[in-house]
Amino acid sequence: MTEKIRQQLKLVHGVLEKVRSYQHAMSILSFDQETICPEKGMEEQGEVTAFLGAEAFRLRKDRAFIEAAEALYEDREELDPLDRVLVSSLHRAYLQTKNITPEKQLEFSKTYNKAYVDWLKARSASDYSLFAPSLQAVRDAQLEAVRLSEETYPTPYDAMLSDYEIGMSMEEIDGVFSVCRDRMVPFLKKIRESKKVIRTDFLHRTVTDDQQREMAKYLLDVLHYDFSRGAFTTTEHPFTDWPGKDDVRVTTHYYPDMFYSNIYSIIHECGHALYGQLQPAANYGHFLDMAPELPTSGQHESFSRFYENRLGRSREFIGLIYPRAKEIFPQVLGDVSEQEFYEAMNLVEPSFIRTEADEFTYTLHVIIRYEIEKEIVLKGADIAHLNELWNRKYQEYLGITPKNDREGILQDVHWTSGFGYFPTYAIGNLYNAMYYNRMKQEMDLPGALRAGDFAKINGWMAQNVFAEAARQQPKEWIRTVTGREFTPEDFLTYLEEKYGELYGVE
């Protein structure tokens, strides 16, 4: 490495250190806004967050920084492999934002923040019309950002997808989702016609917040979440936040008549957090946390849904937590057997709320959102009446129609910040089905689950799944992890075998 390259790298790292500080502060403010910020303080706090974001953006627009980063990109073959990943990400960000001024970036930030505030109001009132104008503004802002970008994609929606799942095209997702839909919808019909009766009377027995908090803490301990580097609290829409290397926070929610919602919410978020706590420390030293496209959303969702579903809903894990769950919730599980608990946690029943959906129907919730997003972005969908399209899709795919906007189109926060994220939830299911099969070949996974040996499980994940997630694009990464090309087959076979056995169908 020449002295010139060393100096350029020093300049780039120095600027990113400052940007990281702004982003740390923004993350703390965002966490506060979604947890304990008073309602009337929301908009002002959002404006402060937007200001900090604009300042961070301004630093990355500095001419000396851009010139150094672009020069490093040209000489990237001479760099350390991790610095090569970083400068490739910076180059992509440069192409995306070189025509966006700090003033325009602030305008975009305010649009997204106002959309979030309006979504909260609309959701509270169960009135989509209060959110529709902001959703239109979000679409227009995102389309403007795509037009200003110097990256080229077949469609604007492909550009939006690339922000969340780089290297994955709409054409590929169309193909994968059509296979999923064509196999899952008929199989769901068989499940619904099955004579199998799963006991559910105990699912809505009342529990206290204190009991749910105790259960969440127990589950985080079981999964080896490091409380010296994390914390948890409650929010409307659970999420994981990651202000810094030693600060990875999770949230959950408590419903007095749905004790299981908190169980799987906290396991899901812990899956995200374990990546944050167990990724290689060198990632931070080389500022890979500042390379936003890696890990992709699909990779990250594969982590969370691996812990939530592949492990958390397994017979072995249910057996592991059943005795403690019975102690914490005696009024719920006192007369419930372990087998009844397992079956109820794997109940298949079409429902309205994506985050509460069973493992089988969840992917159909995602496909509905994906199809609607394409309508919004590519076909000029009537946004004022988008709730009607939403309801038709739910009837077509799941055989149910939402009674109101709160349980329909207003249930998710994601569209307040744009489009392209939703398909990654389903893509994550497909990734983890592939690496689950490799993991099962290399270790006694059922035995580790029965024993609660998450040191062994997390160690395998850290070495084989987490290690390259921030360093390789997803198609290369899944080949590295599994030795195979990306496919939906593992996931679909898993669903058909598991739920075929549970419901006695083929």
Which domains are assigned to the chain? 3-134 (no CATH), 197-356+420-503 (1.10.1370.30)
The Cα-based distances of 348 to 187, 198, 397 in angstroms read: 11, 9, 14
Q: Give the Cα separation of 60 and 66 in Å (integer).
A: 7
Residue 277 and residue 59: Cα distance in Å, rounded? 28
CA–CA separation, 23 and 29 (whole Å):
10
Determine the pLDDT at residue 236. 84
122 near 236, Cβ under 8 Å?
A: no
Residue 341's alpha-carbon distances to 193, 260, 319, in angstroms, are 22, 10, 9
pLDDT value of position 355: 85
| Alpha-helix residue ranges (DSSP H) falling in 338-473 | 338-345, 362-378, 386-398, 423-442, 445-451, 454-461
Quick one: pLDDT at residue 354? 94
Radius of gyration, CA atoms only, the chain: 23
Query: In the β-sheet with 240-244, what is the strand arrangement from edge to edge?
Result: 230-234, 247-252, 240-244
Selected catalytic residue, list 74, 107, 236, 269? 269
Q: Provide the pLDDT for residue 67.
A: 97
Peptide bond into 292 cis (omega under 30): no
Distances (CA, A) of 296 to 3, 148, 167, 425: 33, 23, 10, 11
d(CA 210, CA 216): 10
| Spatial separation of the C-alpha atoms in residues 258 and 240, rounded to whole Å | 21
Compute the C-alpha angle 445/449/453, nearest 5°: 100
Active site residue 70: no
Contact predicate 412/365, CB 8 Å: no
Alpha helices in 399-464 (DSSP H): 423-442, 445-451, 454-461
Please state the pTM of the whole predicted model: 0.93
Report long-range pairs for 345-349 (Cβ below 8 Å, ≥24 apart).
Answer: 345/260, 345/313, 345/318, 346/313, 346/498, 346/499, 346/502, 347/198, 347/200, 348/188, 348/191, 348/192, 348/499, 348/503
Judged by DSSP in three states, 349 sits in: coil
Report how far residue 457's alpha carbon sits from residue 453's, in angstroms, rounded to the nearest whole number.
7
Residues sharing a CB contact under 8 Å with residue 197, sequence separation 6 or more, in sequence order: none
pLDDT by residue, tens only, the chain of 506 residues: 899 999 999 999 999 999 999 999 999 999 999 999 998 998 899 899 989 998 998 999 899 999 999 999 999 999 999 999 999 999 999 999 999 998 999 899 999 999 999 999 999 999 999 999 999 999 999 999 999 999 999 999 999 999 999 999 999 999 999 999 999 999 999 999 999 999 999 999 999 999 999 999 999 999 999 999 999 999 988 999 999 999 999 999 999 999 999 999 999 999 999 999 999 999 999 999 988 789 999 999 999 999 999 999 999 999 999 999 999 999 999 999 999 999 999 999 999 999 889 999 999 999 999 999 999 999 989 999 999 999 999 999 999 999 999 999 999 999 999 999 999 999 999 999 999 999 999 999 999 999 999 999 999 999 999 999 999 999 999 999 999 999 999 999 999 999 999 999 98
Calpha distance 286→289 (Å, rounded)? 8
Strand partners, 247: 244
Whole-Å CA distances, 5 to 85, 95, 497: 16, 21, 55
**Distance between CA atoms of residues 477 and 468, nearest Å:** 7
**In 160-303, at which residue ranges do the beta strands (DSSP E only) sit?**
230-234, 240-244, 247-252
Cβ atoms 410, 131 nearer than 8 A: yes
Partnered with residue 252 across adjacent β-strands are: 234
CB-side neighbour CA atoms (13 Å) of 220: 28
Find out whether 294 and 288 touch, Cβ atoms under 8 Å.
Answer: yes
